[in-house]
Structure 1
Amino acid sequence: MFGWLKTNPIKKLRKAYDQKLEQAMHAQRNGDMRLYADLTAESEQIWQQIQQLEQSTT
């Protein structure tokens, strides 16, 4: 009945993924390659979580 009130975990993870990629882009532009690598690795982990959730829902 109140299914529309539930948060969508995939949508939340995609938003976090996009934010990490944006932060990584800014780090790369500023020349901080270590931070860029760390943020890219974190975004890859988030992407793996998204893929697992999408596979489990289908």
Structure 2
Amino acid sequence: MFSFLKKDPIKKLNKLYLQKLEEAMYAQRNGDIRSYSTITSEAEDIRIKMDALRESTASL
């Protein structure tokens, strides 16, 4: 009934995903390739979660 009051979890994950990508970019620019790969991996895990949420909401 009050679903319009609930926050969108995909929006929150997207914001976190973009922050991780930006953090990875700065790590790469600084020459820290190990951190870059770790942060990029974390960002991809977040993207997979976002895709799963989109698929589950699309089936409803």
* TM-score above 0.5: yes
Unaligned runs of 5+ residues in structure 2 are none
In structure 1, the residue corresponding to 2:7 is in which secondary structure?
A: coil
- The residue number in structure 2 matching 1:46 is 46
> How much identity, in percent, do the aligned residues show?
55
Q: TM-score, normalised by structure 2?
A: 0.91
- The residue number in structure 2 matching 1:4 is 4
- The residue number in structure 1 matching 2:26 is 26
- The CA RMSD over aligned residues, in Å, is 0.9
Give 1:2 deviation, angstroms. 3.4
Deviations along 1:13-58, one digit per CA (max 9) or x if unpaired, are 0000000000000000000000000000000000000000000000
Unaligned runs of 5+ residues in structure 1 are none
Give 1:4 deviation, angstroms. 2.6
